[in-house]
């Protein structure tokens, strides 16, 4: 693949001058595409944008760790404990079996999650990115010379009152090179409540105005390969779009369980590497059973083959070697025959429209259910 010219966007450069030695603006990071414009990184010849590789092969480590919700009335003590445990697990992962070049954590290793929180509670437990927690992680990344990918509830001064679910990509020098918003929340599934985090879909028009259309389907081009992250499930079209844009390594988080076939199919259908990081069994985690759907973290190869899988629901490390240079030499976009079905996709309308949290942010899960109750397009 040929390399893209260097392009710096607001998303890639959000942390400049804000600690962590400044955020790294990677070549090929999300561009400032205007609303409605064609996605600039999608090529018509099967190739895709990259940056030069730092190594022909590297080791991925998936850290299946416990999830421990903070007490919103006094969150700092457990937040420190959760962060210290995360730092310990980084040391443990690097302590045997050779160096892990990238360590991947689940959605909420620092804050945990609780369906009892309202918006005020959740914003209190959320972290700033960058902030003290990411500074501590950056120090550990530099110590071990490894990349870190991890999720968290987060605040953002550009989005006051919005609770975000962000997956951060940190390089081996402790620089945050990208922050991926959760793309959408599932609706109409939970009994008595709805999720009230703000996703891309919930504020789509404003998100595009701020960050560009290209950022809706983010592919972070790094010296380890083109990385995609996501905490959504059963949305194969979204991952297909990422693969069309050159996604090579898909890092997918889960909380409280997932469908393994959904993860495996991402690799099988798109010819990419896919890892899923789920939480481990978690004692003393509020109103949940200890297993709480934990375990099952895994890594799949480009043919959908299982490379490694957690053999326990307790804390463990799942690893695989990624021969990225050999893979890239033969890899192309997935061959999708859109000529056959594109009119059906264009005519289709999802159950809920976009932008439902632009004007109003529900106060809690029950309020989110009330707000969304009459917003469905479907009968």
Task: Render pLDDT for 293-351 as a digit per residue (tens, 0 to 9).
Answer: 789 999 999 999 999 999 999 999 999 999 999 999 999 999 999 999 999 999 999 99
Tell me, yes or no, whether 351 lies in a domain: no
Q: Is the peptide bond before 130 cis (omega within 30 degrees of 0)?
A: yes
- Distance, C-alpha 306 to centroid of its chain: 21
The answer to whether the CB of 200 falls within 8 A of the CB of 183 is yes
In this prediction, residue 287 carries a pLDDT of 66
Rounded to whole angstroms, the Cα distance separating 102 from 143 reads: 13
Q: How many CB atoms lie within 10 A of CB 238?
A: 17
Share in percent of the chain as helix, strand, coil (round to 5): 25, 20, 55
Tell me, yes or no, whether 167 lies in a domain: yes
Minimum mean pLDDT range among 15-29, 169-183, 277-291: 15-29
Tell me, yes or no, whether 90 lies in a domain: yes
pLDDT exceeds cutoff 70 at 13: no
pLDDT exceeds cutoff 90 at 152: yes
Tell me, yes or no, whether 28 lies in a domain: no
The answer to whether the CB of 227 falls within 8 A of the CB of 169 is yes
Closest CA to 68 of 350, 240, 281: 281
pLDDT exceeds cutoff 60 at 7: no
- Domain hosting 138: range is 58-340
127 bridge partner residues? 154
Instruction: Check residue 17 and report its DSSP letter.
Output: T
Minimum mean pLDDT range among 32-36, 40-44, 156-160, 295-299: 32-36
204: its two tokens: 């789509």
Tell me, yes or no, whether 346 lies in a domain: no
In this prediction, residue 4 carries a pLDDT of 40
pLDDT exceeds cutoff 60 at 28: no
Tell me, yes or no, whether 270 lies in a domain: yes
Q: How many CB atoms lie within 10 A of CB 289?
A: 11
Tell me, yes or no, whether 211 lies in a domain: yes
Q: What is the mean pLDDT of the chain?
A: 90
Task: Render pLDDT for 98-130 as a digit per residue (tens, 0 to 9).
Answer: 999 999 999 999 999 998 999 999 999 999 999
Task: Render pLDDT for 163-207 as a digit per residue (tens, 0 to 9).
Answer: 999 999 999 999 999 999 999 999 988 899 999 999 999 999 999
| 10 or 269: which leads in pLDDT | 269
In this prediction, residue 286 carries a pLDDT of 73
Rounded to whole angstroms, the Cα distance separating 193 from 119 reads: 13
Residue 291 — pLDDT band, cuts 50, 70, 90?
confident
Q: Which residues contact 260 (CB under 8 A, 6 or more apart)?
A: 276, 296, 298
Rounded to whole angstroms, the Cα distance separating 331 from 87 reads: 35
- What's the whole-number mean pLDDT along residues 24-49? 57
CA distances from 316 to 109, 296, 305 (A): 14, 10, 20
Tell me, yes or no, whether 131 lies in a domain: yes
Residue with tokens 């759907």: 293
Number of structural domains in the chain = 1
In this prediction, residue 39 carries a pLDDT of 54
pLDDT exceeds cutoff 90 at 22: no
Q: What is the CATH number of the domain that holds 90?
A: 3.60.110.10
Which secondary structure element, helix H or strand E, spans residue 347, and what is its range?
helix 342-347
3-state secondary structure of 304: coil
Q: Is the pTM of this model over 0.75?
A: yes
E strand intervals along the chain: 58-64, 102-104, 127-128, 147-155, 164-170, 176-181, 220-222, 225-230, 249-253, 273-277, 298-300, 306-309, 316-322
């Amino acid at each position: 693949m040929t390399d893209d010219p260097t392009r710096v966007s607001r998303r890639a450069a959000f942390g400049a001058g804000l600690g962590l030695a400044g955020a790294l603006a990677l070549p090929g990071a999300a561009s400032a595409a205007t609303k409605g414009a064609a996605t600039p990184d999608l090529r018509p010849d099967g190739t895709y944008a990259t940056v030069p590789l730092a190594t022909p092969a590297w080791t991925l480590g998936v850290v299946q760790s416990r999830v421990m919700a903070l007490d919103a009335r006094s969150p700092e003590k457990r937040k420190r404990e959760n962060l210290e445990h995360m730092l310990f697990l980084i040391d443990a992962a690097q302590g045997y079996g050779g160096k892990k070049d990238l360590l991947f954590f689940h959605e909420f290793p620092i804050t945990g999650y609780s369906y009892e929180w309202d918006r005020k509670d959740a914003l209190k437990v959320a972290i700033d990115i960058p902030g003290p927690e990411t500074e501590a992680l950056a120090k550990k990344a530099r110590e071990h010379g490894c990349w870190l990918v991890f999720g968290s509830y987060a605040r953002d001064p550009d989005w006051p009152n919005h609770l975000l679910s962000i997956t951060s990509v940190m390089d081996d020098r402790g620089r945050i090179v990208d922050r991926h918003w959760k793309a959408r929340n599932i609706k109409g599934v939970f009994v008595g409540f709805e999720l009230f985090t703000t996703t891309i879909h919930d504020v789509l028009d404003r998100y595009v105005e701020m960050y560009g259309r290209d950022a809706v389907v983010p592919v972070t081009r790094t010296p380890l390969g083109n990385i995609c992250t996501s905490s959504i499930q059963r949305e194969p079209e979204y991952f297909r779009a990422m693969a069309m844009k050159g996604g090579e390594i898909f890092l997918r988080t889960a909380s409280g369980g997932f469908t393994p076939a959904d993860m495996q199919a991402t690799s099988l259908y798109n010819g990419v590497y896919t890892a899923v990081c789920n939480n481990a069994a978690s004692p003393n985690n509020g109103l949940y059973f200890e297993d709480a759907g934990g375990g099952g973290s895994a890594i799949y190869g480009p043919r959908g083959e299982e490379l490694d899988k957690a053999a326990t629901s307790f804390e463990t490390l799942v690893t695989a070697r990624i021969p990225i240079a050999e893979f890239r030499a033969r890899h192309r976009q997935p061959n999708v025959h859109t000529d056959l079905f594109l009119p059906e996709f264009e005519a289709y309308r999802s159950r809920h429209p976009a932008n439902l949290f632009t004007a109003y942010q529900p106060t809690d899960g029950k309020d989110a259910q009330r707000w969304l109750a009459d917003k469905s397009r479907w009968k």
